[in-house]
A and B are shown apart, each in its own frame.
Chain A
Amino acid sequence: MKETTSFCSDGTRENTANWNNVQYPLYGQQVTCNDCADFVSQCLHAGNIPMTSAWNYSGALPTTDWCNVGSLKAYLLSNGYITYGVALKYCLCGDPFFFANITTGVLEHTVFMVYNDGSTFKYDAHTNDRLRLNWTGTLGGYVYHYAHVIY
């Protein structure tokens, strides 16, 4: 598991040197420390979900649906790209999942599932930057909403 030891000023783990700054430069160079949704959007687009006028990263400028957690989830759901609220075992490699505040229900974070054999789960994420991190599903303070992509 690769995990950065670089930190933002607010303590978030981030090392933009490992990012795809050529294709998606904004969050590596300008707006930093909040790249979770942008990263998941990049992964989903790499998996062939097409950019649209509402969900895109045109040049240096992503749309809100691309870079904001709540908007991304709403876009994917309303356009039929995901089944939302599936069980953990159905959130497979290539699927996103979302962290909601345990008290308010507000979505605060999203990550990308990269391994799921039914008993071991691993995810990749930005800010905090994670590579193949084991997921136990027991992190305090959040409720988890797993999704499955309908390609």
Chain B
Amino acid sequence: MKRLCSLVLIIVLCIVATTGCSRSAGVAPVTMVAEQGTNAAGKTLTAYLVTWDIQRGTVVRSDAPLFQRSYYNDWPVMLWSSGPPFTVLQRSVDQVQGGVKQQLLMVQPAASDTRVLTWPATLALNMKAQESVSWYAWDKKVFMSAPLEVLIPLYGYKTLAGKSVQITQYTAPVQTLAAVLPSELQSIEGVYTIYGSGSLENGFVLVETRTAGAAVDVFWLIRLTGGKATWLPCGDAPCGGVIAGAGPQFARIDSRLYLLGGCRNKIAMIDTAAAKPVITYPTGINRTFSSLITKTWKDTGSGAPFFAALKGSGTVLQLSLFNTALNAEQTYALNEDGTILGYLEGDTSGRLWCMNASGRRLSSVSLPSLQYLLSSSQDLFAG
């Protein structure tokens, strides 16, 4: 009888261990960039690579810095990709220093294998004027751009009939594709570009379209194949539209594009490779998201609305929420069905803790003077 009990116990333990491990088995480590230093005028931030191995339950920081950046009165959001090679987007912008406006380069590579990408001059001007959005097409190793918006003018024609969305590929020579609005969109008043990925040969642009008097905005995917554009309807935009306020956040995992915008408590998903790419709201992910909001957020009535940050590492979704009770940010790793694989949590002593899904501390790393902890950007999309 004792033997039988022991055997049953062993079997049960094996099942528990297997189940526990299988949730994070095969998950590639997540890399993040930690920028440390003094966040003040004229100071420098130094960036290190932080590797979060969810499967092993470890979090470590690189010894050598990846890059440094200096700024005077503003710190634009960094965009980087783990590559290889590790790639960071250079953004030179006007800064007022001592009353004089001058252009400062943001990034100085500190490691020889840090690759710094810079926008072509024309694109840089368009980005500065906020006329374009841009992204990097890894297949062609070139930058791409699309207009930030195409709207009816203040005074003039009433619809966008006959207009197009110009998508530019910065090869030599520059290639431009005019994606002419389909007949179904002849009466719309505005097109806002909200995401782009890939090249004219193999890519897509996601837009939000607005029609006067319509109940909600509508998403369309412009699929780019062999230098041609095809408009595909994706359905109503979450909560009427995602442009206003903080704007949308995206995480792309393969062909799945996850989106948090419009509503602050709903994550949408579009399979951009599907024949009919429609907006869905993945049940498991949203169930987990909802429970995390309940767990972390308490509206004290004294401030800003609830807000979560959505990112993706290429294999897992990363959802960051501010825990009002702990006064700390928590970053959860979720798989495709919404299972929590583990999470990161800062403490007041400057340590970042790697936690398992049930909240047990596994390991930590010291990150003194941490200013930003940034997830990778698959497409280096800059809106």
Chain A interface residue count, CB cutoff 8 Å, equals: 61
A61 with B189: CB separation less than 8 A: yes
Within 8 A of A (CB), among B86-107: 94, 96
When the two chains form the complex, which single residue of A35, A107, A127, A141 contacts B322, counting CB atoms closer than 8 Å?
A141
Residues of A within 8 A of B94 (CB): 78
A56 with B154: CB separation less than 8 A: yes
Indicate with 1 or 0, residue by residue over B38-64, a CB within 8 angstroms of chain A CB atoms: 010100000000000000000000000
User: A36 CB to closest chain B CB, in angstroms?
Assistant: 5
Indicate with 1 or 0, residue by residue over A59-82, a CB within 8 angstroms of chain B CB atoms: 111111101111100110110000
Residues of B within 8 A of A63 (CB): 149, 151
Residues of B within 8 A of A69 (CB): 245-247
Given contacts A61-B190, A68-B244, A106-B246, contact A11 B306 (CB under 8 A): yes
Within 8 A of A (CB), among B246-305: 246-247, 249, 262-266, 299, 301-305
A71 with B130: CB separation less than 8 A: yes
B263 with A33: CB separation less than 8 A: yes
**Counting CB contacts under 8 A, is B223 at the interface?**
no
A61 with B305: CB separation less than 8 A: no
Closest to B301 in A: A3
A13 CA / B303 CA spacing, docked (Å): 10
User: B382 CB to closest chain A CB, in angstroms?
Assistant: 11
B309 with A85: CB separation less than 8 A: no
B245 with A127: CB separation less than 8 A: yes
Given contacts A58-B152, A68-B243, A139-B302, contact A109 B212 (CB under 8 A): no
B189 with A38: CB separation less than 8 A: no
Indicate with 1 or 0, residue by residue over A95-114, a CB within 8 angstroms of chain B CB atoms: 00001011111111100000
Within 8 A of A (CB), among B125-183: 128-131, 148-149, 151-154
A127 with B243: CB separation less than 8 A: no
B130 with A30: CB separation less than 8 A: no
**Counting CB contacts under 8 A, is B28 at the interface?**
no
**Counting CB contacts under 8 A, is B121 at the interface?**
no
A108 with B246: CB separation less than 8 A: yes
A10 with B73: CB separation less than 8 A: no
Closest to B263 in A: A10
When the two chains form the complex, which single residue of B217, B247, B301, B303 contacts A68, counting CB atoms closer than 8 Å?
B247
A74 CA / B373 CA spacing, docked (Å): 22
Residues of B within 8 A of A78 (CB): 94, 128-130
Residues of B within 8 A of A58 (CB): 151-154
Given contacts A58-B154, A61-B151, A85-B74, contact A140 B246 (CB under 8 A): no
Residues of A within 8 A of B383 (CB): 70
User: A56 CB to closest chain B CB, in angstroms?
Assistant: 6
Most chain A C-beta atoms within 10 Å of own C-beta, residue among B78, B190, B302: B302
Residues of B within 8 A of A121 (CB): none
B241 with A12: CB separation less than 8 A: no
**Counting CB contacts under 8 A, is A9 at the interface?**
yes
**Counting CB contacts under 8 A, is B115 at the interface?**
no
A3 CA / B303 CA spacing, docked (Å): 11
Within 8 A of A (CB), among B213-248: 213-217, 239-241, 243-247
User: B206 CB to closest chain A CB, in angstroms?
Assistant: 15
**Counting CB contacts under 8 A, is B327 at the interface?**
yes
Given contacts A61-B151, A109-B304, contact A141 B189 (CB under 8 A): no
**Counting CB contacts under 8 A, is A115 at the interface?**
no
**Counting CB contacts under 8 A, is A16 at the interface?**
no
**Counting CB contacts under 8 A, is B324 at the interface?**
yes
A106 CA / B76 CA spacing, docked (Å): 8
When the two chains form the complex, which single residue of A32, A77, A83 contacts B240, counting CB atoms closer than 8 Å?
A32
Residues of B within 8 A of A56 (CB): 154
A31 with B247: CB separation less than 8 A: no
A11 with B265: CB separation less than 8 A: yes
Indicate with 1 or 0, residue by residue over A25-37, a CB within 8 angstroms of chain B CB atoms: 0010011111111
A51 CA / B189 CA spacing, docked (Å): 18
A83 CA / B371 CA spacing, docked (Å): 22
B75 with A34: CB separation less than 8 A: no
Residues of A within 8 A of B212 (CB): 59-61
12 other contacts beyond A27-B244, A103-B329, A141-B329, with CB at 8 A cut-off?
A8-B263, A30-B216, A32-B240, A33-B264, A58-B151, A58-B152, A71-B247, A83-B96, A84-B74, A104-B375, A105-B76, A109-B305
11 intermolecular pairs with C-beta atoms under 8 Å apart: A10-B306, A31-B216, A33-B239, A34-B241, A54-B130, A71-B148, A85-B73, A104-B77, A104-B372, A127-B245, A140-B322
